[in-house]
Structure 1
Amino acid sequence: MKGRSILEILVGAVVLIVATGFLAYAVTNTGRTTRTGGLALTARFDRIDGLAPGADVRIAGVKVGTVTGQRIDPTTFLAILSLDVDSTLRIPEDSSAEITSEGLLGGKYVAIVPGGAEKLLRSGSEITITQSSVSLEALLGRFIFSVTELSGQRPATPEGAAPAVPTARP
């Protein structure tokens, strides 16, 4: 009985060591780094539905930074995102930022679309051209409303003509 308990303890210890190794690997290889010191940018949006700190910042689909914070402007009620972008990039001043999703059910990220200005964004700059998140629920609601409106409409009658009265058939 004593030999069995020591064996169980050793197997349990091995399982814990392997689980810790998997956890360490997952944390170091997720691509979500906590590095700072890059280009600190801000951007204001009407809506940021589903976007959280730690989300990707991408240019041409390539991850170049992360969303480091979000807050609300108490006077304009706009969402202000703080972005940490790779400092080796030379981002033109007239670049735009848009919140987009990876797919129908995918996560959201901030996409930076570079402009063509010669003047570049510096750390502490604000991206002024933004496009907010599109709410899938709102789009579906509008679509359903428009379909029900169309199906409930009757054909227009010519001016002065009496509207058609449905007749009962025997």
Structure 2
Amino acid sequence: MSENATEVLVGGAVLAAAIGFFIYAGQVTGAGGAAGGSYPLTASFRSADGLSVGTDVRLAGVRVGSVTALDLNTETFRADVAFTVSEGIEVPDDTQAVVASEGLLGGNFLELVPGGSPFNLAPGDEVYETQSAVSLTTLLLRAVSGGDVE
């Protein structure tokens, strides 16, 4: 085999590996979109620290959607978060949205904690029960000072 043919084969293998990597990365990050579609929901938080567009939305530890928008409401001074949930997952209307952490050094995600209501949220509805992330710095200051720190 000539040197030129070898270079073409190696180049083709590298190109195929790169294409495979991009397809895999798209599937892992959800860039290709959900297979069954999704529907939008919103929630308003006192602090959405740690959330950004693309952050996972999880239910029972399973990724069911992602954050699509994050804006400051200038009337209430709260963070308005828009997110999606996969079609086929019915979320009760008394569900709580919690900014949760994967651990001390892990990233944050939006966790949905379903309630017991027989009624479900419709596309575009708002989750009214919300809980912001717990600040590690605030907890440490409370422990050291022995009092309330805001």
TM-score (norm 1): 0.72
Post-superposition CA distance 1:27-50 (Å, at most 9, x none): 22x142453752210000011111
Equivalent position SS for 2:91: coil
Report the 3-state secondary structure (helix = DSSP H, G, I; strand = E; otherwise coil) of the residue aligned with 2:43. Answer: strand
Aligned-partner SS, 2:26: helix
The aligned residue for residue 35 of structure 1 is: 33
Matched, 1:21 2:20: yes
Deviation at 1:95, TM superposition (A): 1.2
User: How many percent of aligned residue pairs carry the same amino acid?
Assistant: 41
Tell me which protein shows more strand as a share of its residues: 2
User: Take 2:130 and 2:124, find their aligned partners in 1: how far apart are those partners?
Assistant: 17
State the shift of 1:26 in Å: 2.3
Name the counterpart of 1:168: none
Specify the alignment match of 2:81 in structure 1: 81
Once the two structures are TM-superposed, the CA of residue 12 in structure 1 deviates from its matched residue by: 5.2
Q: Distance in 2 between matches of 1:34 and 1:23?
A: 11
* Contact kept? 1:32, 1:54, Cα under 8 Å: no
Structure 2 residue runs of 5 or longer lacking an equivalent are none
Matching residue of 1:161: none
Structure with higher Rg: it is 1
Query: Whole-Å Cα distance in 1 between the matches of residues 110 and 128 of structure 2?
Result: 14
Q: Per-residue displacement from partner, 1:47-76 (whole Å, max 9, x unpaired)?
A: 111111111111111111111111110111
Tell me how far apart the structure 2 counterparts of residues 139 and 118 of structure 1 sit (CA, whole Å): 37
RMSD: 2.4
CA distance in 2, matches of 1:131, 1:51: 13
CA contact (8 A) 1:47 1:132 kept: yes
Q: 1:91 to 1:144 in 2, by over 3 A?
A: same
1:71 matches 2:83? no
What are the Cα deviations for residues 111-137 of structure 1, in whole angstroms up to 9, with x where unaligned? 111111222110110000000111112
Instruction: Tell which deviates more after alignment, 9-18 or 50-59.
Output: 9-18
How does 1:118-133 map onto structure 2 within 5 Å? 118-133=118-133
The two structures have a TM-score, normalised by structure 2, of: 0.81
